[in-house]
Amino acid sequence: MKAPGAPRNFEPAYLRLGVEEIRSRAERAVAGLASCRACPRDCGVNRLEGRWSACKTGRYAVVTSAFPHHGEEDCLRGWNGSGTIFFGHCNLRCVFCQNFDISQGLRPGTPGVPPERLAALMLRLQEMGCHNINFVTPEHVVPQVLEALVFAVEGGLRLPLVYNTSAYDSLESLSLLDGVVDIYMPDLKLFDPELCRRYLKAEDYPKAARSAVQEMHRQVGPLRFDSQGLATRGVLIRHLVMPGLLEESRAILNWIAQELGPDTYVNVMGQYRPAGKVRKETFPELSRPLKAEEWLSALELARQAGLSRLDDRETVLLLW
């Protein structure tokens, strides 16, 4: 039976994979929490015993909200919204994070939700008519997502899965998601290691993110849509343009075009504003909103790189 908000003529990847294969992967992934390598931090702590390190998350995933999100890209939000599930904590420490209260502001070791509860949230969003299930900041909870997906599929989940990530993902985790995720939505942030050390607290971010996005693209390819314009499968890359860092945008956009191809769907985002730990006294270079001309310059850089599929929603809003 087709889910009410699902794209037309669509079968999610995980149904073709089968619930028994998902269960097997979930069991392997959860067992791996005993010496956690779920993300590039490779902390090695025993999260099965409730211990935590960089991601501040123990045995169960922390969920801060689950609702139909109407602020995502048009191909995800459609008319009923994208079924977003926001996970608490994060494996990065972006000083400018616009979700700082849930990524870095939560008490470490906050109790999470068992897999049955996470599955129930997915099914509730499907009942509400959402077009997809959109996992936000899932890099550190891939085992918990797989564990919950078993219950969700057995309960009748039929929506595409969106993996909405910073791109600071391990290849091991991504291998477990091969054939499970329909739409990968990585946010490529910065490529200069020193800037990543200063702003993300992860000097290895560029190397890890490039490898992760290449693997995502290998799994699902360029973004595809149904007849109503809803995304069904593929990679959608976001890039937030930062004040004074157009050379970073140039490097990222050129890399996308050269390594993934000019038909890669990219949202060049111009919504930066000072947030998180950014203050004039802490990070003065980031303590101003992005200028319109900087964002328009980044769009031009994308076109010069040869990228032909740019999300135009923000362009329409600016012109309006």
Q: What percentage of the chain reaches a pLDDT higher than 70?
A: 98
Q: What Å distances lie between residue 42 and 35, 62, 104, 142, 172, CA to CA? A: 9, 20, 19, 14, 11
Q: How confident is the model at residue 92 (pLDDT cuts 50, 70, 90)?
A: very high
Two tokens, residue 49: 């015993």
How do residues 286-316 score in pLDDT, each as one tens digit? 999 999 999 999 999 999 999 999 998 755 4
Q: Indicate the CATH number for domain 14-319.
A: 3.20.20.70
Is the Cβ–Cβ distance between 318 and 292 less than 8 Å?
Answer: yes
Report whether pLDDT(51) > 50.
yes
Report whether pLDDT(318) > 70.
no
Is the Cβ–Cβ distance between 97 and 104 less than 8 Å?
Answer: yes
How do residues 100-110 score in pLDDT, each as one tens digit? 999 999 888 78
Query: φ, ψ for residue 39 (rounded to 5)?
Result: -140, 175
pTM of the model: 0.96
Helix (H) or strand (E) holding 100, with range, is: helix 100-103
How do residues 257-266 score in pLDDT, each as one tens digit? 999 999 999 9
83 has which bridge partners? 68, 133
- In SS3 terms, 172-226 reads as HHHHHHCCCCCEEEEECCCCCHHHHHHHCCCCCHHHHHHHHHHHHHHHHCECEEC
Is the Cβ–Cβ distance between 188 and 209 less than 8 Å?
Answer: yes
Q: How confident is the model at residue 1 (pLDDT cuts 50, 70, 90)?
A: low
Is the Cβ–Cβ distance between 57 and 51 less than 8 Å?
Answer: no
Dihedral sign (CA 177, 179, 184, 188):
positive
pLDDT (0 to 100) of residue 320: 36
Q: What percentage of the chain reaches a pLDDT higher than 90?
A: 92
CA atoms in the 13 A half-sphere facing the CB of 164: 19
- One DSSP character per residue, 136-148 reads ES-TT-HHHHHHH
pLDDT (0 to 100) of residue 2: 75
pLDDT (0 to 100) of residue 314: 56
Local structure of residue 34 (DSSP, 8 states): G
How do residues 159-209 score in pLDDT, each as one tens digit? 999 999 999 999 999 999 999 999 999 999 999 999 999 999 999 999 999
